[in-house]
Structure 1
Amino acid sequence: MTTQQKALAAPILVEAQDGIFFIHNSKNPTPAKVSPYINQSAGDTVALTVTANNNSLTVRVEVTKEDLGKPIAFDIAKKIFEDGFKEGNTATLHYKVIPVGSGGSGQSESLTVRLVY
């Protein structure tokens, strides 16, 4: 019997509050972060994908020795939240870890926030 691998924690959209992201108050670029994860290694690639208003953006960061045990910071262009905005839209963020070497990749839980201008 194999044990099921626990999904990675959802990313954090730093300026979101209680599941709501206020676009007009946000910084450009908008900060997001990924918490440290099990077996984190220098050379891993973390790919954060943001989907909002029928647009998608993926930002990749390679983990360094200095990143180990610390949250990994991402800068998201505010434009992804603004382009095609309609009241009631949501944004979804998730990330994938591509380990250095031959290990398999892992997918995170998703974070969904309501967009308010």
Structure 2
Amino acid sequence: MPAAADDVRAALAARAAGTAAKADLKLLTKHFLALLQDAAPGNSVEVRVPPYAAVQVVEGVRHTRGTPPAVVEITPEVWLALATGESTWDDESAAGRVHASGERSDLGNWLPLVGR
């Protein structure tokens, strides 16, 4: 479930000012992952943003146990840059900051998430 709008605004402001605490990063990470789940429902790709959260998204092969057919692992900082439109999937992938494997693991079509 996405976070409350006031909490998101405050955490984004703290991040922009360079004063974001771990709690702000956690709130924003979970918030934008929830928005991704709404935008791309499914279970074929697991998106991991350690240490804060992991979700399954994108329609396709349903998986019930073990590792799903596609996995994306990314740091909170890069995830937030992608979710807010500060960076692009292609740029972060080319720079090696996105670790994605498997079919449907390119999340570029669903990013950025700001404004959703």
Normalised by the length of structure 2, the TM-score is: 0.29
* Structure with greater proportional helix content: 2
Q: Which has the higher contact order (CA 8 A, sep 6+)?
A: 1
* Structure with greater proportional strand content: 1
Normalised by the length of structure 1, the TM-score is: 0.29
